[in-house]
Amino acid sequence: MNAAPDDYDSPWKDAVERYFPEFMEFFFPVADAAINWAVGYAFLDQELHAVVQDAELGRRYVDKLVRVALLGGGEAWILVHIEVQGTRDAKFPERMFVYNYRLFDRYRRPVASLAVLADDAPGWKPSSFGFDVLGCEHHLKFPTVKLLDSVGREGELLREENPFALVTVAHLVTRATRDDMAARYAAKLKLVRLLYERGWDRQRVIDLFTVIDWMMRLPDELTGQLWQEIEAIEEDTKMRYVTSVERLGIEKGIQKGLAEGKADSLLRQLRRRFQTLPSELEERILAADINHLDEWSDRFADGKSLAEIFDTEQIH
């Protein structure tokens, strides 16, 4: 009994975007304490893409760029560059270095680069990159958080109020139960029960349920069983949150998120091989459904041209 392939990109992206202040508080408390949250913040993902699109160095889950202000005066605003890195990658420290100086070069503002390491390699904890040559020193030292360091602390994390404590547990359990869907089902049900016990508002419960449901994929049989349990929980608690119409919305959102993640991955691979892509092709990829994206990704391995991959005679 197998589930669909685990999806980490989309739920991490969704969680960071929805709860960025809590993300900073949980993973980078020193930085969080220096930010003036009262004046707000802004995601600059399109700007990040424009700056680094020709520097595709390695595979990650999420990269985000956020404009924030600092407490106590100083710079009017700075940039926070976030990377959630999903695999051990020798190019990762270099990417942090390259993105940092490119962002500074464009905006002439301080750039804080922060990394969450979500890989399976316990001893891999990169935190710097640079060089010394002919008396010139150029180095970037960046804070990192290793999710594997939280293995064994799941019980403690589940007592915390920060939503990223739950996201971290969901991530660790998903990795640990790749070959044990029964164990994943039990852990997922426990997390869902916890959402209803926290007394959080309806929207937060829906948001976090979506992230957990996205990340902890189950086979269809266990998914149906889980929804039955959720209906029973909502009957007992009198909290109609994620059943009925919300379930349809969540499922559609997950499918949309999966498609967006696959499209982003395919675009990254295509840009690395072909450098520049026709704008109409990028629009076609971004608008495609999962089946087409899977088919094109399969063709990518052997396709020697864009026409071969996308089964067209000519691409302008």
User: Could you tell me if 218 and 229 are in contact, meaning their C-beta atoms sit under 8 angstroms apart?
Assistant: no
Domain ranges of the chain: 29-142, 253-310
**Predicted local distance difference test score (pLDDT) of residue 186:** 95
Which 3 state secondary structure label does DSSP give 69? Answer: coil
Instruction: Give the per-residue SS3 of 102-170.
Output: HHHHHHCCCEEEEEEECCCCCCCCCCEEEEEECCEEEEEECCEEEHHHHCCCHHHHCCCCCHHHHHHHH
Each residue's pLDDT tens digit in the chain (316 positions)? 555 444 556 678 888 988 999 999 999 999 999 999 998 999 987 777 777 665 554 455 568 899 999 998 766 789 999 999 888 889 899 989 999 999 999 899 999 999 999 988 989 999 999 999 999 999 999 999 999 999 999 999 999 999 999 999 999 999 999 889 999 999 999 999 998 888 888 888 888 888 888 888 888 889 888 888 888 888 888 777 775 445 544 555 555 555 666 777 777 778 777 767 787 887 788 777 667 777 787 777 667 778 778 766 444 4
**Predicted local distance difference test score (pLDDT) of residue 165:** 94
User: Which helix or strand (DSSP H or E) is residue 85 part of?
Assistant: strand 78-85
**Predicted local distance difference test score (pLDDT) of residue 314:** 45
**Predicted local distance difference test score (pLDDT) of residue 286:** 79
